[in-house]
């Protein structure tokens, strides 16, 4: 019985590992940005649209920065 050929014939490439590292880091950064940004915005007394805009901005910034560092770390390990 022949072995099915998937997307990877062997190990994933270095670029694929960096993409996965970025996505994991982006997800973790978004989650922590939501927690810390939400608590911080509520502490400042933001409500409604201001709250959502502020928390969304903090989540994207946290996700982007942590994702970048995770991608760089994965690239170094290749």
pLDDT in tens, 51-71: 999 999 999 999 999 999 999
DSSP H helical ranges for the chain: 14-43, 48-77
DSSP 12: P
Residue 4 lies in a domain: no
Q: What is the pLDDT of residue 3?
A: 61
Q: Which domain holds residue 70?
A: 14-77
Q: What is the pLDDT of residue 10?
A: 79
Residue 36 lies in a domain: yes
> In the chain, how many domains are there?
1
Residue 46 lies in a domain: yes
Residue 32 lies in a domain: yes
Residue 48 lies in a domain: yes
* 37 and 59 Cβ atoms separated by less than 8 Å: yes
Burial of 77 (0-12, 13-18, 19+ CB in 10 A): exposed
Residue-wise pLDDT for 1-56, tens only, equals 666 665 556 788 999 999 999 999 999 999 999 999 999 999 999 999 999 999 99
Question: Rounded to whole angstroms, what are the CA distances from 21 to 11, 30, 31, 32?
Answer: 15, 14, 15, 16
Q: What is the pLDDT of residue 73?
A: 95
Residue 62 lies in a domain: yes
């Amino acid at each position: 019985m022949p072995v099915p050929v998937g997307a990877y014939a062997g190990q994933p490439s270095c670029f694929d590992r960096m993409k996965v590292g970025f996505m994991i880091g982006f997800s973790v950064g978004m989650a922590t940005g939501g927690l810390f940004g939400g608590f911080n915005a509520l502490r400042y007394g933001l409500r409604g649209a201001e709250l959502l805009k502020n928390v969304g901005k903090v989540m994207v910034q946290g996700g982007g920065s942590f994702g970048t560092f995770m991608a760089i770390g994965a690239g170094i390990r290749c």
